[in-house]
């Protein structure tokens, strides 16, 4: 059969009697891994109706086409209305089937809809997260190239590279960039090595790398990602730890209304993103207004929840506000105060570096150093610079030692200090701060 050049063949699955074919029609924004779904039956291409069409159904299509993970299950002819036959309706997949035709449906040619309801898919593309303990937003990174999946070597692998993957998978912000086959060693091809992403690329293959198949490592160096999941910070003037709060739900990113939005709510977001302590909870579209979906309103957190979804709210998609009432956060960034007897403005100083929190040694630690930290946390002037693990001894890494600030720096990292990873002291010398208290900006 002749197929028009405006169609893109993705994969052919042969049986003894017929050809089950999946196709994304080009045009209307389709790509190799996104578009209107069409199947080939009885010598004719036809579409799929969107009744009950969901992410499980899309997942089967994406897997069948080696297109990674399903990100969205567009409905209502998002990629344009097809013509001719509508082959499937009321498709119900568990998500584990190897072919769309294995899912429950109304029967070939039996439908109750028009082409205004043609179903589509948006897949992650040639990228997937797999391995031991993996989830939709964390796992070993694998890339599809030259008809086979392969891993990414961890030489040069960092949070910038991981962030590109997280963004591409609609998984929010990169929290960690695990190395050394953290999610287990893969097999077969190693496709990429020496990644050099700037953070802003839309796809991993846009980043600098050694070239497909050129590598200097084994699978014990397979790279992974741990993403924040369905929360991200975006908007005008946003950074990794400040911006308009957006939440991913129902295959769509949406905003959070600022009714009742306060520092406790912001604290949960900052913790979820490994961004330290909440400094401000901006309202009134501080980081810019945007149209589209509003997912949450009247969010009420105690501040101790591990995820924004654990807080009270009106329900997804229920809101009483407009686009100029979107909520935002400004977090302290990679710094936090913790320990026995700690408060938002006093505690053991810990810094987030190289995917883990670590302490600061108290060698030369004084009031000038504490003053920089208190200012960075919007906690007013420094009152004390406690030493000798005043707030209890930490565990794990000790990142800073011999910190020497003038007191005028904007961040502790701007002060002179010994190289990251100090080996000259123990956690019995962990440094702390006691600040005068929170400063609120009006």
- Between the two ends of the chain, the Cα-to-Cα distance in Å is 69
DSSP labels, 172-199: -SEEE---SSTT----S-EEE-S-B--S
Please choose, from the candidates 110, 133, 38, 39, the residue with its C-alpha nearest in 3D space to the C-alpha of residue 80: 38
- pLDDT band of 86, cuts 50, 70, 90: very high
Question: What pLDDT sits at residue 10?
Answer: 36
* Cβ(268)–Cβ(308) below 8 Å: yes
Domain ranges of the chain: 7-123, 127-227, 231-331, 335-435
Number of H helices, E strands in the chain: 4, 25
Q: What is the distance between the alpha carbons of residues 418 and 407, in angstroms, rounded to a whole number?
A: 17
* The CATH homologous superfamily of the domain defined by 127-227: SRCR-like domain (3.10.250.10)
Pick among 3.30.70.270, 3.10.250.10, 3.50.50.60, 3.30.420.40: CATH of 335-435 = 3.10.250.10
What confidence tens digit (pLDDT) does each residue in 389-410 have?
999 999 999 999 999 999 988 8
Q: What is the mean pLDDT of residues 357-376?
A: 93
Backbone phi and psi for residue 80, each to the nearest 5 degrees, phi listed first: 90, 150
Structure tokens belonging to residue 88: 């499937």
Question: What pLDDT sits at residue 48?
Answer: 94
Q: Which helix (H) or strand (E) holds 57?
A: helix 55-64
The CATH class for the domain spanning 7-123 reads alpha beta
Dihedral, CA of residue 38, residue 39, residue 45 and residue 46, to nearest 10:
-60
Q: Is pLDDT at 421 greater than 90 in this prediction?
A: no
Question: What pLDDT sits at residue 420?
Answer: 66
Q: Is pLDDT at 6 greater than 70 in this prediction?
A: no
Residue 123 forms beta bridges with which residues? 70
What confidence tens digit (pLDDT) does each residue in 121-164 have?
888 776 678 888 887 788 999 988 887 889 999 999 998 999 99
Core vs surface per residue 244-273: b (16+ CB within 10 A) or e: bbbbbeebebbbbbbbbbbbbbbbbbbbbb
Q: What is the distance between the alpha carbons of residues 137 and 131, in angstroms, rounded to a whole number?
A: 12
Pick among 3.10.250.10, 1.20.140.10, 3.90.870.10, 3.40.50.720: CATH of 231-331 = 3.10.250.10
Q: What is the distance between the alpha carbons of residues 170 and 136, in angstroms, rounded to a whole number?
A: 10
Q: What is the distance between the alpha carbons of residues 51 and 90, in angstroms, rounded to a whole number?
A: 5
Least confident range of 10-14, 40-44, 192-196, 284-288: 10-14
- pLDDT band of 438, cuts 50, 70, 90: low
Distance of CA 21 to the CA centre of its chain: 32
Query: Looking at residue 79, what DSSP letter applies?
Result: T
Q: pTM score, two decimals?
A: 0.58
- pLDDT band of 65, cuts 50, 70, 90: confident
Q: Is pLDDT at 13 greater than 80 in this prediction?
A: no
Question: What pLDDT sits at residue 11?
Answer: 30
Q: Is pLDDT at 5 greater than 70 in this prediction?
A: no
Helix, strand, or coil (residue 218): coil
Higher pLDDT, 21 or 68: 68
Report the residue count for the chain: 442
How much is the CA Rg of the chain, to the nearest whole Å? 25
Structure tokens belonging to residue 401: 């030692």
* Cβ(19)–Cβ(2) below 8 Å: no
Q: What is the distance between the alpha carbons of residues 18 and 412, in angstroms, rounded to a whole number?
A: 67
Q: What is the mean pLDDT of residues 200-208?
A: 86
The answer to whether domain 127-227 and domain 231-331 are alike in fold is yes
DSSP H stretches of helix in 364-422: 367-376
Please choose, from the candidates 190, 229, 241, 436, the residue with its C-alpha nearest in 3D space to the C-alpha of residue 352: 241
Please choose, from the candidates 349, 355, 356, 361, the residue with its C-alpha nearest in 3D space to the C-alpha of residue 388: 361
Question: What pLDDT sits at residue 15?
Answer: 26
* Cβ(394)–Cβ(359) below 8 Å: yes
């Amino acid at each position: 059969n002749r197929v028009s050049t405006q169609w893109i063949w993705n994969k052919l699955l042969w049986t003894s009697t017929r050809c089950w074919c999946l196709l994304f029609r080009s045009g209307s924004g389709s790509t190799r891994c996104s578009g209107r779904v069409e199947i080939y039956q009885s010598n004719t291409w036809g579409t799929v109706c969107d009744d009950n069409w969901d992410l499980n159904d899309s997942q089967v299509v994406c897997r069948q086409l080696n297109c990674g993970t399903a990100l969205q299950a567009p409905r209502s002819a998002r990629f344009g209305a097809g013509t001719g036959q509508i082959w499937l309706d009321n498709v119900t997949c568990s998500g584990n089937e190897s072919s769309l035709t294995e899912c429950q449906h109304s029967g070939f040619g039996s439908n109750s809809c028009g082409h205004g309801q043609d179903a589509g898919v948006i897949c992650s593309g040639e990228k997937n997260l797999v391995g031991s303990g993996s989830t939709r937003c964390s796992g070993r990174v694998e890339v599809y190239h030259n008809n086979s999946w392969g891993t990414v070597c961890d030489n040069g692998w960092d949070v910038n590279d991981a962030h590109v993957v997280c963004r591409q998978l609609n998984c929010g912000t990169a929290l960690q960039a695990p190395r050394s086959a953290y999610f287990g060693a893969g097999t077969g091809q190693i496709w990429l090595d020496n990644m050099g992403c700037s953070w802003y690329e839309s796809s991993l293959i846009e980043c600098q790398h050694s070239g497909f198949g050129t590598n200097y490592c084994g699978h014990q160096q397979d790279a992974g990602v741990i993403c924040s999941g369905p929360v991200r910070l975006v908007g005008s003037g946003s950074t990794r730890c400040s911006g308009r709060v957006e939440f991913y739900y129902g295959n769509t990113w949406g905003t959070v209304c600022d009714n009742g939005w306060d520092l406790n709510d912001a604290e949960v977001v900052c913790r979820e993103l490994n961004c330290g302590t909440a400094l401000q909870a901006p309202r009134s579209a501080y980081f810019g207004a945007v149209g589209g979906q509003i997912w949450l309103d009247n969010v009420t957190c105690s501040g101790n929840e591990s995820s924004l979804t654990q807080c009270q709210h009106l329900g997804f998609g229920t809101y009483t506000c407009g686009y100029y009432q979107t909520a935002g956060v400004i977090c302290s960034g990679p710094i936090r105060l913790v320990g026995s007897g700690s408060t938002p403005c006093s505690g053991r100083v810990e810094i987030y570096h190289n995917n883990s929190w670590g302490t600061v040694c108290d060698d030369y630690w004084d009031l000038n150093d504490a003053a920089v930290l208190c200012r960075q946390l919007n906690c007013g002037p420094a009152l004390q610079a406690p030493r000798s693990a005043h707030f209890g001894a930490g565990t794990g890494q000790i990142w800073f030692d011999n910190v020497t600030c003038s007191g005028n720096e904007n961040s502790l990292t701007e002060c002179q200090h010994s190289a990251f990873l100090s080996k000259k002291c123990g956690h019995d010398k962990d440094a702390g701060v006691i600040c005068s208290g929170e400063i609120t900006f009006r």
